Amino acid sequence: MTPFAASVALLRRHDVLLIQRNRPPSEGLWTLPGGRLEPGETAEQCAVREVKEELGLSVFALRPVTVLQVRRFRLQVFATQALEGEIVPDAAEVRDWRWVKPGQLGGLRTTPDLGDVLERAFRMFDRT
């Protein structure tokens, strides 16, 4: 069975919160917060936990965006506008973070398909 992972597009008006990974396999790349499912977790539970661990934020009302095959993982991507807390990144996981407009992705080294995923996420919230 293919291992599962989950990530979340955190949307704010016309911006999305991206993180720069601080360890392999995507070290140095800009992407959405997320990670691997732990035993017994659903994809949504994993996404909520990973955002809390990586950024210190609580997220709610996740909407499924798409499922991607990323290396050997099936990645469930969610999106939400509902988040609470102050961003306190876990330095072991997150090298840097920033709010980015989708048009600014060209200047960043990102994970594959990030632009397409964000286009879908923004469309779900009428933010195209």
> Each residue's pLDDT tens digit in the chain (128 positions)?
566 999 999 999 899 999 999 998 889 999 999 999 999 999 999 999 999 999 999 999 999 999 998 778 899 999 999 999 999 999 999 999 999 998 899 999 999 899 999 999 999 987 55
Q: What is the number of domains present in the chain?
A: 1
Q: Which domain holds residue 26?
A: 4-124
pTM of the model as a whole: 0.93
In this prediction, residue 127 carries a pLDDT of: 53
Could you give the CA distance from residue 79 to residue 125 in angstroms, rounded to a whole number? Answer: 9
Nearest Cα to 18, choosing from 26, 8, 27? 8
In this prediction, residue 3 carries a pLDDT of: 63
**Helix H or strand E encompassing 53:** helix 43-55
What CATH code is carried by the domain that includes residue 56? 3.90.79.10
In this prediction, residue 25 carries a pLDDT of: 81
What does the chain come to in residues? Answer: 128
